[in-house]
Chains A and B, each alone.
Chain A
Amino acid sequence: MKIVVCVKQVPEITDVKVNPETGTLLREGVDAILNPFCEYALDHAVRLKSIHRSMEIIAVTMGPPQARSALLRCLELGADSAVLISDRKFAGADTWATALTLAAAIKGAVPDFSLILVGKQAIDGDTAQVGPELAEILSLPQIMYGVEMHLSPNRKRLRAKRETEDGYEVLEARLPAVVSASKGERIRRLPSFRDVLAARRKKLTVITADDLALEEKDLGLQGSYTQVVKVFPPAQKPGGIKFDDLEPEVAARKIAAYLRQEGFV
């Protein structure tokens, strides 16, 4: 049984800065990391594999050559092999062109996959579109915002607990399916030094546009239906109020008074 985990390399952004002239994210001096939600997706794959030992986890990303480092991180954290889809022709791809490229690469490199896991969104673009689009392109059932995942004993179906606006839903889908992860381990994993060394001996395949059953008009900027007109940081939310070092009784009174004052109770 093969699980494909689609991942993205993103800038480690804690404080978004935008070039006011070009409207693009300032990435200078910012480290590139594996998107945290993609790491959660990988977590779920590794957890499933810890129960179903014969599983194979394949990490896939579309990106420039340096995105290889995000794949190495996946290989350190438990992926068995990795695929880097990289070509100048993919440049400027919007979410649709990205999903189309990923779908074609997965069909070519891992045609016998049973499950595709993705992060619910990337922390740079925050669109949360690639996962659902991938499911549509591949005509697969999709469960988005998963927080828990279990396979049926015969491995034909997957049950996932997903976040909703009001709470949680438990859904089941037949496999193959696409599932996105919105939460994983609370504490991020750390590889052992053996994992780090072993990752560098695992198979990492590079796929270019020529390897895909797609026409050039479907790729990159040409294949994109949307275009980013402007990027701007969201307005800062006002910070909350924090009471430190208070006896529980005093703290409770203060909170109650605040809730009354704001009209919540």
Chain B
Amino acid sequence: MHKISTRLTPFADFNKIRCVEGFERISREYPTYLTDESKLSPEPFDYLFFPCDEAELGAIFREMSARRVKVTIAGARTGLVGGCVPTSGALVSLENFDRILSLCYDDRAGEWRVQTQCAVCLRALNAQSISKNFPDVERCGDQPALQALSRFKQDPASYFYPPDPTEMSASIGGTVATNASGARTFRYGPTRDWVRGIRVMLPNSEILAIPRGKYFASREGEFLINDTGGKCSRVKLPSYRMPQTKNTSGFFSAPQMDLIDLFIGSEGCFGVITEVTVALLKRAEKISIVQFLKSDEQAINLVEALRNEKTIQLDFLEFYSGNALDLLQKRQAQDPKSVDMPAIPAGAGAALFFEFSFEPMADNPDYTALEETIKRCGASITESWAAYENRELQRMKNFRHILPETINAIIAERKKQCPELHKLGTDLAVPNEHLRDMWKGYRDGLDEAGLQWAAFGHIGDNHIHVNILPRDANELHRGLKLYEQFAAMAVEFGGTVSAEHGIGKMKIKFLELMYSPKQIQEMRALKLAFDPGGLLNPGNIFKS
């Protein structure tokens, strides 16, 4: 079925919605709403709204449309490409949509699902799923929801929500709108793979309820959307093919695709996701390993060997380049407690960080295949750190987190001398067969340019974050040029210019490297079909 109808939202009085007016007052009293993790500076905007429900959100849309004021939507403001940084008009913070609504067991899929409002953060969703303690559901008074919760509590297994985009303060709605991914995408896929249903408010303030598996594009690549006023919008999908990598560049498009996938990762261009239903997964005990290696090349050898060793199923496979370890070693020498890890071995020239299932109390665990694979690459499991207790797993995770933190601190220090400086972090991914080529491209380019850099991230998905640390404006300029070259190279290898950060307002020119003007025009037409007045999130994905 490719036809879907919208529903009306209840009425709310616009004048009763909490609103802060005037850029000066917003800047003075609500400075945290001015930007997100991209640290992009906003253009002056006039209103900051805090709607409490869909009715209020709908009233804001109606009023802003009538006044021809553009609306930017903010979730938890953890994005890295300025998606919720306003360019004008109004900013709508969804932070009051913060309740977990219900649980249900889907018999057909054999899985537990959680229905939640969009502002619930991933940390809360996971903590409540793991502890089976859902205060919002307990208080809701809805009998079916309470019965489902009681059944969930009786289930002896423990459950969690697998997508882990590192920043667990991210809101579930934001992660769906950006199809967030992270280390565990290596095994569990991106957010898209865990979304079972959404409610979306369209710019006309009407609601689409989209369960997964019900609405599919016609053979001609179209959806028909009927609104309550009898108007039918024809939505035509772009004709391009998506890269065979992790990808958040451009709208999702595939033959006879599910309508829900069009909204996932659309960066809020078509509507506002107000509610999400996601699937949970059974938890198993895990062990994390940091395996030290002699060089970056040896690390790539091990990545390929681990991919070929089918008996080892890793949850994630992450990379620390040799120069990334150097930065951490320096930090350890200055302030060992801030790193909270034993000394990084002196001869370590790179490291891989990976995790897999592990039963601590098993009598004779057999990991010969893993040990042999590591040995064949010229390394030894003696040169590793291992952790499986929760507190120790967290320690390993902190160690992964501390690297970008260290880089940010170095840049912040340099900014004092040269305020325009900023970090340049790549987000490119390529198919498996081009990992080595891409790495060679990075190294050759960076070494030739003589720039300071460090690389880390999701090497299992051929998605390494190369961070360039410019020391002055000249280096920043050269770094930007190099980044563009790297992006073009990734596209040439059949990869993507943005694997997980999205396009937002900061990577629009990279999108133009990946798609032809005609394909970008198809994307614009799609945006127009949903949002003819250009109400929502101006400046995201397309130049406004």
Residues facing A in B23-48 (CB within 8 A) are none
- Which listed segment binds A: B207-215, B335-343, B465-473? B335-343
Query: Residues of A within 8 Å of B, CB-based: how many?
Result: 22
B381 CB contact (under 8 Å) in A12, A194, A200: A194
- B window 356-405: CB within 8 A of A: 360-365, 367, 371, 380-392, 395
B528 at the interface (CB under 8 A from A): no
| 8 A Cβ contacts from B492-522 to A | none
B287 located at the interface, meaning its Cβ lies under 8 Å from any Cβ of chain A in the complex: yes
Q: Known: A33-B389, A187-B336, A194-B384. Contact between A69 and B342, CB under 8 A?
A: no
- Contact between chains at B392 and A200 (CB < 8 Å): no
Nearest CB in chain B: distance from A195 CB, A:
7
Set of chain A residues within 8 Å of B390, measured between Cβ atoms: 12, 31
Contact B365 A31 (CB under 8 A): no
Per a CB cutoff under 8 Å, which of A69, A190, A194 touches B387?
A: A190
B131 at the interface (CB under 8 A from A): yes
* With A69-B360, A193-B381: A186-B289 Cβ-Cβ less than 8 Å: no
- For B342, give its contact among A33, A68, A189, A196 (CB under 8 Å): A189
Contact yes or no, A29 B363, CB < 8 A: no
Q: Which of B131, B380, B381, B395 has the most CB of A within 10 A?
A: B381
Interchain CB contact under 8 A, B340 and A68: no
Q: Which of B291, B342, B362 contacts A187 (CB 8 A)?
A: B342
Residue in chain B with minimal CB distance to A76? B386
Question: A195's closest neighbor in chain B, by CB?
Answer: B386
How close is A191's CB to chain B, nearest CB, in angstroms? 6
By a CB distance below 8 angstroms, the chain B residues around A12 are 390-391
Residues in B whose Cβ lies below 8 Å from that of A187: 336-337, 339-342
Q: How large is the interface on B (under 10, 10 to 19, 20 to 34, 35 or more residues)?
A: 20 to 34
Contact mask for chain B residues 347-361; partner A; CB cutoff 8 A; 1 contact, 0 none: 000000000000011
Chain A positions within 8 Å of B384 at CB level: 192-194
How far is it, in angstroms, between the C-alpha of A197 and the C-alpha of B339 when the chains are bound?
26
CA–CA, A190 to B391, complex, Å? 12
* Residues of chain B within 8 A of A192, CB atoms compared: 381-386
Across-interface contacts of A195 in B (CB, < 8 A)? 386
The chain A residue sitting closest to B380, CB to CB, is A194
Binary B-proximity of A162-194 (CB < 8 A = 1, otherwise 0): 000000000000000000000000111111111
Nearest-CB residue, chain A, relative to B133: A29
Q: What residues of B have a CB within 8 angstroms of the CB of A76 in the complex?
A: 386
Docked-complex contact B391 and A33, CB < 8 angstroms: yes
Query: Which residues of the partner chain B approach A189 to less than 8 Å between Cβ atoms?
Result: 342
Complex-state Cα separation, A76 to B387, whole angstroms: 10
Least Cβ–Cβ distance between A44 and chain B, in angstroms: 16
Min Cβ gap B160→A in Å is 14
Which of B287, B291, B341, B364 lies in contact with A196, CB distance below 8 A?
B287
| Contacting residue for B392 out of A68, A69, A190, CB 8 A | A190
CB of B351, distance to nearest CB on chain A (Å):
13
Q: Is B337 a contact of A186 with CB atoms below 8 Å?
A: yes
Q: With the chains together, A227 CA to B360 CA distance in Å?
A: 35
- Which residues A171-229 have CB closer than 8 A to chain B? 186-197, 200
Q: Is A200's CB under 8 angstroms from B337's CB?
A: no
Q: How far is the CA of A194 from the CA of B382 in the complex (A)?
A: 5
A73 CA / B387 CA spacing, docked (Å): 10
Tell me if A197 and B342 are in contact (CB < 8 A).
no
Inter-subunit contact A31/B287 (CB<8 Å): no
CA distance A76 to B371 in the complex (A): 17
List of A residues within 8 angstroms of B287 by Cβ: 193, 196
> B341, A197: Cβ atoms under 8 Å?
no
Chain B residue numbers with a CB within 8 Å of A190 are 341-342, 385-387, 392, 395
- Whether a CB of chain B sits under 8 angstroms from the CB of A72 is yes
CA distance A82 to B364 in the complex (A): 17
* CB <8 Å contact, B361 and A69: yes
Q: How far is the CA of A152 from the CA of B381 in the complex (A)?
A: 35
Alpha-carbon gap, A122 to B340, bound state (A) = 22
Of A12, A193, A200, chain B has the most CB atoms within 10 Å of the CB of A193
The answer for the CA separation of A195 and B336 in the assembled complex, in Å, is: 23
A29-B363 Cα distance, complex, nearest whole Å? 25
What is the bound-complex CA distance between A200 and B382, given in angstroms?
Answer: 15
Residue interface bits B443-455, CB-to-A below 8 A is 1, else 0: 0000000000000
A251–B10 Cα distance when bound, in Å, is 56
Chain A residues within an 8 Å CB radius of B339: 187
Which residues of A in the span 129-185 have a Cβ within 8 Å of any Cβ on B? Answer: none
Q: How far is the CA of A37 from the CA of B511 in the complex (A)?
A: 55
Q: From B336, which residue of chain A is reached at the shortest CB distance?
A: A187
- For A65-107 the 0/1 string (1 means CB < 8 A from B) is 0001100110010000000000000000000000000000000
A-B pairs with lowest CB-CB distance, top 10: A193-B386, A190-B385, A193-B381, A193-B384, A196-B386, A194-B381, A194-B382, A192-B384, A31-B390, A193-B289
Query: Which residue numbers of A lie inside 8 Å of B, CB to CB?
Result: 12, 29, 31, 33, 68-69, 72-73, 76, 186-197, 200
25 A-B pairs with CB atoms under 8 Å apart are A29-B131, A31-B389, A31-B390, A33-B389, A33-B391, A69-B360, A72-B361, A186-B337, A187-B336, A187-B337, A187-B342, A190-B341, A190-B342, A190-B386, A191-B385, A193-B289, A193-B291, A193-B381, A193-B385, A193-B386, A194-B381, A194-B384, A196-B287, A200-B362, A200-B365
Q: Residues of B with Cβ closer than 8 Å to A?
A: 131, 287, 289, 291, 336-337, 339-342, 360-365, 367, 371, 380-392, 395
Besides A29-B131, A73-B389, A193-B289, 19 other A-B contacts (C-beta < 8 A): A31-B391, A72-B361, A186-B337, A187-B340, A189-B342, A190-B341, A190-B387, A192-B382, A192-B386, A193-B291, A194-B381, A195-B386, A196-B287, A196-B388, A197-B365, A197-B367, A197-B371, A200-B364, A200-B365
